[in-house]
Chains A and B, each alone.
Chain A
């Protein structure tokens, strides 16, 4: 079975500050991991995903995430926040078969000017 825990339902940062959104997963098989972003009144958009290979994954809009198997983590970071990054972010995991994604509860990111 798979599950995801996102620590912190709300994160606030100042513009230009580091963004760190935490995600820990549980999976009985090697996982595939995803980060999605949702802007108000829109669907989910893929930011990045880890499948195999390099554990540091770069995504769109300057975001990146590192897969750490020993810590069962896949935290999302961005060196310098921008006002346009304000949105809700979801971490998701999937096991070895095509099927549903298991989502975390989401983290609402607020960026202060």
Chain B
């Protein structure tokens, strides 16, 4: 079946504007994750959803960042009042939950965000 999809693939915005990034997980995957990848920072965890709830949002860097998931499927990551340090590739992943921690996370292609 289809893999994880993310949109847009690229986003250029001006400092101070809000942006929304979308993730469509693999059908049937109830676990969804957001990570951020930037030069010099590696892969940073942002938030984890189980269904529509977020049991771990410890990686969100500030209150400008928020995420929601509706219908146990699509997730949106919103960054308000963007700053230049928000420039990064935002990666979404999803997984099944049947075998718990053994499950593989499947990653989307990412959204490349550039804040001017």
CA distance A42 to B3 in the complex (A): 13
**Known contacts A90-B43, A105-B42, A106-B42, A34 near B110 by CB under 8 Å:** no
Q: Mark B102-113, 1 if CB is under 8 A from A, else 0.
A: 111111111000
Q: Which residue of B lies closest to A29 (CB)?
A: B101
Chain B min CB distance to A15 (Å): 28
Q: Are A98 and B59 in contact (CB under 8 A)?
A: no
Does A98 contact B108, Cβ atoms closer than 8 Å?
Answer: no
Residues of A contacting B93 in the complex (Cβ-Cβ under 8 angstroms): 44
B8 to chain A, nearest CB (A): 14
A43 touches B108 (CB 8 A): yes
B31 at the interface (CB under 8 A from A): yes
| Chain A, interface SS category | loop
Task: Tell me if B45 counts as interface (CB < 8 A to partner A).
Answer: yes
Q: How far is the CA of A31 from the CA of B107 in the complex (A)?
A: 21
Interchain CB contact under 8 A, B50 and A98: yes
CA distance A41 to B93 in the complex (A): 16
Check B104 against A100 for contact (C-beta < 8 Å).
no
Tell me which residues from 34 to 90 in chain A have a Cβ below 8 Å from any Cβ of chain B. 34, 36, 41-46, 49, 51-52, 90
Q: Is B97 an interface residue (CB 8 A)?
A: yes
Please report A residues at the B interface, Cβ cutoff 8 Å.
32, 34, 36, 41-46, 49, 51-52, 90, 94-106
Beyond known contacts A43-B108, A99-B56: 12 more, CB 8 A cutoff? A32-B101, A43-B109, A44-B91, A44-B93, A51-B99, A98-B50, A98-B101, A100-B59, A101-B45, A103-B42, A103-B43, A104-B42
